[in-house]
């Protein structure tokens, strides 16, 4: 979508081998395992996977918002070459919202129910910018109008708004300081499909206007295929596939991605029985030796049980990566 | 019990009181002239946004809400008539409901065996302990929860969402339900698990169980259900054979709904299919088509007169003045 912007400067955000552990009494659960991911300015990157695969944990790590028992045990997260993990409190306070903002999963509950929309909007402005209350209110009103809500709603409380409007307010708050990156953790999951469509359309108008990058976390591959430039697929804390959105969805190189893609009945395609992915997600406290997906994989063979596959390049134009022994085997048989 | 069982709903109207004073009550019309037929061995999908009255209709069929007017006939017995003498227990053995949230619908302090045995005992008081156990195990196996004996000993927290939803289905089939009203049974489950539950219910249709599948996901409705009804603010706006409704939608609202479904690789043209307006709240006094405010093709009489059902094809009906 914004291919021209990608290479002009370096990546906006670079995750280098980021691991996040949840420390529990029965051992450490590794929710993110050595994730390496770049996000370029103006790019939309999607992260998909089932619950518990670590996609939200990674989002929290990027804004350093995780609390114990979550612990970033290794790796670095560079935002424009500054390491977020080494920032002190003041730098962090400056970085959050001004550079990266976040839209949470249940955005409908992310608003404080006892203060007005206007106060919540101006609060962010006043905290980060040196402006008078009147200026803050004017800016807040302007933002509400940008996301399609009348400015008379500044004095409304969250319960007086519908779910879709609340979601828009949350997006408006995320846009207040014009950050370069917005992390969106399942922003439309709780909404009806028609409202979801309206909000996604508006979001893309805003993106065009302000040019921010989006890290979009969701389990809805259909929606991702529509809006994302690149898609990463996570399973049990590992990034198992990463590549151009159309390629990942149309030509998946990891059996998990293929299973996930075929878990969604389509509205127009042929009507045939789909099988999805058998079995249940793996327990992070009791991981098997070898590939974590082996138990549910129909194509599992000997090396899968002994050796954990790493993320390897399987295509180069545009770059496409997958972590599966099958790809190496295919390469060897080709050579 | 006849072979081809049916639930026939005719002109179901349900009003809920909302505020008002002592002498003048205000009502909200949650379901307005809903007519549908549920056949055994088939699935009927009810599709609509939140607040469209789809759950209300299912609850009325379960006799949780009394209808304001209209008729519900199950196997030739009119359950809404004062002459209907069945106990709720006898009725529940025939018509069961599955709820959206498998985390809230099972009691956390009881084992799965308890959850299974209780309805079996209530509906079959004559069974011995061994027979109850046997039915428990066979029902759990039927929904794919094997090894069933170990599963029966577990507590709900030890099961995943998909497994819990399977327990809910097993409970419904264990008492011999002929109809299962599934209220968004997969919307809270993980994407990789959803299809398994849909396929399980699909297999059960072959055993003669009739499903009412309530959902907001019109793509899964097409996948699972033979027939689909689209609801908007308490009104059925379009219904009929699923493929006909989804591939050739005629009502502007159905068209809007289908255009909103995300599809990988397809960047939708961004021309809006509807005017921006709030979803209306209907009262018994409301007139006209509920979608008229948002409809791009609305005509003058749309606001004053509710269109009657028009037959478009073999099994495809719409309520819209355009046809």
Between strands A230-235 and A238-244, the pairing is: antiparallel
ipTM value greater than 0.90:
no
Residues B146-153 have a mean pLDDT of 88
- The pLDDT-based confidence of A3 (bands split at 50, 70, 90) is very low
pLDDT at B266: 65
pLDDT at B117: 94
- The pLDDT-based confidence of B310 (bands split at 50, 70, 90) is very high
Q: Across chain A, what does the average pLDDT equal?
A: 87
pLDDT digits (tens, 9 = 90+) for B199-236: 999 999 999 999 999 998 899 999 999 999 999 999 99
Q: Is the pLDDT of residue B316 over 90?
A: yes
Q: Is the pLDDT of residue B32 over 80?
A: yes
pLDDT at A283: 83
pLDDT at A275: 83
Mutate one of A280, A285, A298 to test the B interface: name it (highest B CB count within 10 A): A280
Q: Among A197, A274, A280, select the one facing B260 at the smallest CB separation.
A: A197
Is pLDDT larger for residue A172 or for residue B146?
A172
- The pLDDT-based confidence of A1 (bands split at 50, 70, 90) is very low
**CA angle (B22, B25, B31) in 5-degree steps:** 155
Q: Is the pLDDT of residue B62 over 50?
A: yes
Q: Do A267 and B268 touch (CB under 8 A)?
A: no
Q: Is the pLDDT of residue A317 over 70?
A: yes
The dihedral formed by the CA atoms of B121, B125, B126 and B131, expressed in degrees to the nearest 10 = 0
Q: Between chain A and chain B, how many beta carbons pairs sit less than 8 Å apart?
A: 114
pLDDT at B2: 45
pLDDT at B270: 58
Cβ pair A308, A291 in contact under 8 A:
yes
Q: What domains does chain B contain, in order, with CATH numbers? A: 6-261+270-318 (3.40.50.300)
Q: Is the pLDDT of residue B176 over 50?
A: yes
Between strands A213-217 and A44-48, the pairing is: parallel
Nearest CA in chain A to B192: A277
Q: Among B202, B246, B262, select the one facing A226 at the smallest CB separation.
A: B262
CA distances from B247 to A137, B6, B195, B255 (A): 48, 27, 21, 10
Closest chain A C-alpha to B234 CA, distance in angstroms: 16
Residues A197-204 have a mean pLDDT of 86
pLDDT at A193: 84
Q: Among A163, A226, A278, select the one facing B263 at the smallest CB separation.
A: A226
Q: Do A263 and B223 touch (CB under 8 A)?
A: no
Give me the count of residues in chain A.
335
Cβ pair A276, B196 in contact under 8 A:
yes
Q: What domains does chain A contain, in order, with CATH numbers? A: 3-99+179-334 (3.40.50.300), 110-178 (1.20.1580.10)
Burial of A130 (0-12, 13-18, 19+ CB in 10 A): exposed
- The pLDDT-based confidence of A215 (bands split at 50, 70, 90) is very high
Q: Do A198 and B195 touch (CB under 8 A)?
A: no
| Contacts A246 to B, Cβ<8 Å | 264-265
- The pLDDT-based confidence of A279 (bands split at 50, 70, 90) is confident
- The pLDDT-based confidence of A45 (bands split at 50, 70, 90) is very high
Q: Do A277 and B49 touch (CB under 8 A)?
A: no
The single-letter DSSP state of residue B302 is G
Q: Output the 3-class SS for chain A.
A: CCHHHHCCCCCCEEEEEEEEEEEECCEEEEEEEEEEEEECCCCEEEEECCCCCCHHHHHHHHCCCCCCCEEEEEEEEEECCEEHHHCCHHHHHHHHHHCEEEECCCHHHCCCCCCCHHHHHHHHHHHHCCCCHHHHHHHHHHHHHHCCCCHHHHHCCHHHCCHHHHHHHHHHHHHCCCCCEEEEECCCCCCCHHHHHHHHHHHHHHHHHHCCEEEEECCCHHHHHHHCCEEEEEECCEEEEEEEHHHHHHCCCCHHHHHHHCCCCCCCCCCCCCCCCCCCCCCCCCCCCCCCCHHHCCCCCHHHHCCCCCCEEEEECCEEEECCHHHHHHHHHHC
Q: Is the pLDDT of residue A214 over 90?
A: yes
Rounded to whole angstroms, how far apart are CA atoms B149 and B171?
Answer: 15
Q: Is the pLDDT of residue A5 over 70?
A: no
pTM: 0.85
Mutate one of B49, B217, B262, B279 to test the A interface: name it (highest A CB count within 10 A): B262
The single-letter DSSP state of residue B279 is P
Closest chain B C-alpha to A33 CA, distance in angstroms: 21
Q: Is the pLDDT of residue B268 over 60?
A: no
Q: Is the pLDDT of residue B247 over 90?
A: yes
Closest chain A C-alpha to B143 CA, distance in angstroms: 14
Closest chain B C-alpha to A243 CA, distance in angstroms: 14
Q: Roughly what angle, to the nearest 10 degrees, separates helices A117-128 and A89-98?
A: 130
Q: Among A222, A226, A275, select the one facing B267 at the smallest CB separation.
A: A226
Return the beta strands (E) in B86-216 as ranges.
Answer: 95-98, 179-183, 210-215
Q: Is the pLDDT of residue B161 over 80?
A: yes
| Contacts B206 to A, Cβ<8 Å | none
> With pLDDT > 90 as the criterion, what percentage of chain B qualifies?
53
Q: Is the pLDDT of residue B64 over 50?
A: yes
Sign of torsion, CA A95 A98 A100 A103?
positive
> With pLDDT > 70 as the criterion, what percentage of chain B qualifies?
96
Query: Which residue, chain included where needed, has tokens 């050796």?
Result: A307
Q: Across chain B, what does the average pLDDT equal?
A: 89
Q: Among A221, A226, A275, select the one facing B266 at the smallest CB separation.
A: A226
Residues A191-212 have a mean pLDDT of 86
Residues A49-63 have a mean pLDDT of 87
Query: Which residue, chain included where needed, has tokens 């545009």?
Result: A318
Rounded to whole angstroms, how far apart are CA atoms B167 and B103?
Answer: 11
pLDDT at B238: 95
């Amino acid at each position: 979508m914004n291919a021209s912007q990608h290479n002009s400067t370096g990546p906006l955000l670079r995750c280098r081998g980021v691991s996040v552990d949840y420390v529990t009494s029965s051992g450490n659960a590794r929710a993110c395992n050595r994730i390496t991911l770049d996000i370029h300015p103006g790019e939309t990157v999607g992260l998909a996977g089932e619950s518990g695969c670590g996609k939200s944990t990674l989002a929290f790590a990027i804004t350093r918002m995780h609390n114990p028992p979550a612990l970033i045990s290794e790796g670095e997260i560079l935002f424009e070459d500054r390491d977020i993990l080494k920032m002190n409190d003041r730098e962090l306070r400056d970085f959050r919202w001004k550079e990266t903002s976040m839209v949470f999963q249940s955005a409908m509950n992310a608003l404080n129910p006892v203060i007005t929309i206007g106060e919540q909007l101006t609060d962010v402005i006043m905290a980060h910018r040196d402006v008078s209350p009147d200026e803050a209110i004017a800016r807040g009103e302007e933002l509400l109008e940008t996301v399609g809500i009348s400015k008379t709603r500044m004095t409304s409380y969250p319960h007086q708004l519908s779910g879709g409007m609340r979601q828009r307010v949350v997006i408006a708050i995320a846009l207040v300081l014009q950050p370069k990156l917005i992390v969106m953790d399942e922003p439309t999951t709780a909404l009806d499909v028609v409202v979801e469509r309206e909000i996604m359309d508006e979001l893309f108008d805003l993106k065009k206007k302000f040019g921010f990058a989006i890290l979009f976390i969701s389990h809805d591959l259909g929606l991702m295929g529509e809006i994302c430039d690149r898609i990463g697929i996570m399973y049990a804390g590992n990034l198992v596939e990463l590549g151009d959105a159309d390629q990942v969805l149309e030509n998946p190189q990891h059996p998990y991605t293929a299973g996930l893609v075929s878990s969604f009945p389509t509205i127009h395609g042929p009507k045939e029985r789909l099988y999805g992915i058998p079995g249940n997600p793996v327990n992070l406290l009791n991981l098997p030796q070898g590939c974590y997906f082996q138990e549910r994989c129909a194509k599992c063979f000997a090396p899968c049980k002994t050796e954990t596959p790493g993320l390897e390049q399987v295509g180069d134009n545009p770059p496409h990566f997958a972590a599966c022994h099958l790809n190496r085997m295919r390469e060897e048989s080709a050579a | 019990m006849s072979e081809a069982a049916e639930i026939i709903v005719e002109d179901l109207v349900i009003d809920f009181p909302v505020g008002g004073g002592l002498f003048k009550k205000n009502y909200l019309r949650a379901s307005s002239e809903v007519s549908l037929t549920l056949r055994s061995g088939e699935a009927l999908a009810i599709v609509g946004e939140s607040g469209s009255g789809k759950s209300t209709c299912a609850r009325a069929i379960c006799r949780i809400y009394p209808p304001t007017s209209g008729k519900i006939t199950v196997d030739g017995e009119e359950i809404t008539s004062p002459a209907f003498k069945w106990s709720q227990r006898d009725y529940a053995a025939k018509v069961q409901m599955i709820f959206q949230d498998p985390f809230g619908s099972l009691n956390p302090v009881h084992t799965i065996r308890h959850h299974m045995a209780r309805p079996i005992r209530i509906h079959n008081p004559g069974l011995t302990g061994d027979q109850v156990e046997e039915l428990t195990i066979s029902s759990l196996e039927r929904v794919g929860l094997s090894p069933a004996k170990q599963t029966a000993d577990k507590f709900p927290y030890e099961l995943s969402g998909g497994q819990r939803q399977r327990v809910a289905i097993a409970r419904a089939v264990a008492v011999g339900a002929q109809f299962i009203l599934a209220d968004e049974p997969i919307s809270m489950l993980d994407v990789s698990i959803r299809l398994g539950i849909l396929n399980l219910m699909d297999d059960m249709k072959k055993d003669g169980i009739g499903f009412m599948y309530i959902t907001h996901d019109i793509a899964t409705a097409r996948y699972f259900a033979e027939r689909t009804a689209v609801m908007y603010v308490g009104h059925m706006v379009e219904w009929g054979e699923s493929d006909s409704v989804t591939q050739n939608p005629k009502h502007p609202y159905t068209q809007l709904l289908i255009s909103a479904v995300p599809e990988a690789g397809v960047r939708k043209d961004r021309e809006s299919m509807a005017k921006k307006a709030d979803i209306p709240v209907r009262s018994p006094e409301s007139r006209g088509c509920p979608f008229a405010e948002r409809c791009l093709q609305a005509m003058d009489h749309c606001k004053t007169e509710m269109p009657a059902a028009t037959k478009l094809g073999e099994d495809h009906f719409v309520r819209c003045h355009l046809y």
